[in-house]
A and B are shown apart, each in its own frame.
Chain A
Amino acid sequence: MRKSTLFFTFLAAAVLALGLVLAEARVRMRGELPHLRQEVRVVQTLGLTDLCLATEARHTRHPSQADWHSAFQSHPGALDHFPSGSVLLPPERVLKGYGAPLR
Chain B
Amino acid sequence: MGPLFAKQRYLLDFALSCLWRRRGKNLALLTVYTLVVFAVASVMFFTQALKREAALVLGATPELLVQKLTLGRHDLIPADYTHRIREIRGVGQVTGRLWGYYYDPQVRANYTVLAPQGVEVPERTVLVGAGIARVRHLTRGATLTFQGYDGKPYSFQVRGVLSPESELLSADLILMSAADLRRLFGLPEGLYTDLTVAVANPREVSTVAAKIQELYPDTRPIVREEIRRTYEAAFDWRAGILLAVLSGALLAFLIFAWDKAAGLSAEERREIGLLKALGWDTAEVLQLKFWEGAVVSLTAFFLGTVGACLHVFVAPAPLFAPVIKGWSILYPRFRLTPFISLFDLGILFFFTVVPYTVATIVPVWRAASMDPDQVMRS
Contact = CB atoms under 8 A, between A and B. Distances in A.
Contacts, number: 225
A88 to B, nearest CB: 5
Given A47-B196, A51-B168, A54-B324, A91 B163 contact: no
B145 interface: no
A25 B12 contact: no
Interface in B306-357: 306, 309-310, 313, 323-332, 337-340, 345
Interface in B262-294: none
Interface string B159-199: 00011011111111101000000000000000000101000
B326 A29 contact: no
Contacts of B60: 40-41, 43-44
A61 B169 contact: no
Interface in B93-136: 97, 101, 109-112, 114, 116-119, 129, 131
A52 B72 CA distance: 24
B13 interface: yes
A78 B118 CA distance: 39
Contacts of B329: 55
Interface residues of A, number: 66
Contacts of B234: 63, 87-89
A65 B172 contact: no
Given A54-B324, A54-B328, A89-B234, A67 B226 contact: no
B298 A63 contact: no
Given A21-B309, A40-B57, A87-B240, A3 B17 contact: yes
Which of B72, B117, B233, B234 has the largest number of chain A CB atoms within 10 A? Answer: B234
B167 A52 contact: yes
A37 B281 CA distance: 62
Contact of B326 (A4, A21, A60, A66): A60
B242 interface: yes
Nearest to B327: A56
A29 B23 CA distance: 41
Contact of A38 (B72, B163, B345): B163
A39 B230 contact: no
Given A36-B56, A67-B72, A82 B233 contact: no
Interface secondary structure of A, over-half rule: helix
Contacts of A73: 73
Interface string B207-226: 00000000000001010011
A41 B60 CA distance: 8
26 contacts: A2-B9, A3-B13, A7-B295, A14-B303, A15-B302, A22-B345, A25-B309, A25-B313, A35-B165, A38-B163, A39-B168, A39-B169, A42-B163, A45-B116, A49-B227, A51-B57, A57-B110, A58-B101, A64-B227, A65-B194, A67-B74, A69-B73, A84-B325, A84-B326, A89-B233, A89-B236
Given A18-B309, A58-B101, 15 more contacts: A3-B12, A18-B306, A22-B309, A22-B345, A25-B339, A36-B337, A40-B60, A46-B173, A52-B172, A56-B328, A57-B110, A61-B172, A67-B220, A83-B327, A87-B234
Interface of B: 9, 12-13, 16-17, 20, 50, 53-54, 56-62, 65, 67, 69, 72-74, 97, 101, 109-112, 114, 116-119, 129, 131, 162-163, 165-173, 175, 194, 196, 220, 222, 225-227, 229-231, 233-234, 236, 239-242, 295, 298-299, 302-303, 305-306, 309-310, 313, 323-332, 337-340, 345
